[in-house]
Amino acid sequence: MSNHRFSPVSEDEPCCNLSQKAKICLGTFCVLVVLTIAAVVGVLWGLPAPKLKEWDGKGTTPNFPEIVLGRCYTYTKVLRPELSHKDCRKIGKAFMDAFLSKDPCSSTERDYQPLLELTNQTVPCNKTLFWSKSSELAHQYTTVQQEMFTLEDTLLGYIADGLKWCGDADSSGEDLGHLKSSRDLWGERALRIVGFFFFFKFAENACGVVQVVLNGSISNGFNKNSTFGSVEIYNLRPEKVPTLQAWVMHDIGDRSVACSSSSINDLKLILSNRNIKFTCHDNYRPIKFLQCVKNPEHSSCRSLI
């Protein structure tokens, strides 16, 4: 998997909402109006017209269609052959159709509904794993325990992991190379809205006891503004998810206890208000073993054997 960071939604800031998007679009429009007026005045006074500054973002990932198709085949034919019936060409087309030749400021769940339906996948109950500020450990764990699923271990998550994409309402829909424009700024924001759909669906479909890997070596092991803290926990269905287990992992040698920290208590309160039971474990033993593979001589690792 690329870098195990499926991140249209930032871990450090909440999903943008429609008001933020509107502000971006309105702000961009105002800048264009000011520059246009400046250009007219410049022409009247014989001054050179100012050059519009373009967004210098990276735009859509190069070879995006080929990467999507290749990842789909790898997942369905090699990693999860039980999904070999999935039509990767239809999935690739649905992904492209969701954003090509469309204004990124107007992205909606409806645009991505065909893609969501084609990549639909049932994660068994008790096998859903969330993570926050602990990507590497969480995915090391699911690599070993392949019956467990993070979002990036699902078909849709595996395909989209680490990719960037955005549309352009003025394009023909065939040339991805022209996406490096001022619209890419809007695309970055719209991508976060799209990411919300993916994270929302993953949490909504969870059932049974669910787990989350948190980082106990930072001040706020649970961050209310993270994807997990602002999107996923609020879209768990209490009637389907009776319990959430937190595995709070510490750096090797860190002897602090995070399960009693204020940020973890905030998580417990949120879940209690949603009628979801909460349990917490510092340094969950199976994941601790994975940490010790890289630090076998550390005293805390020798005590595990």
Residues annotated catalytic, as ranges:
125, 207
Query: Which token pair is 127?
Result: 């096998």
Residues linked to residue 263 through DSSP beta bridges, in sequence order? none
In our burial notation (b when 16+ CB lie closer than 10 A, e otherwise), range 23-62 reads ebbeebeeeeeeeeeebeeeeeeeeeeeeeeeeebebbee
C-alpha pair distances (Å), 265 with each of 200, 223, 229, 233, 277: 23, 11, 13, 14, 13
Q: Which residue has the tokens 């249209």?
A: 8
Torsion of CA 303, 252, 5, 155, to 10 degrees: 0
**Rounded Cα gap, residues 172 and 139, in angstroms:** 39
Distance from C-alpha of 121 to C-alpha of 174, rounded to nearest angstrom: 29
**How far, in Å, are 218, 246, 268, 301 from residue 160 at the CA level?**
28, 26, 31, 36
Position 112, amino acid: Y
3-state secondary structure of 57: coil
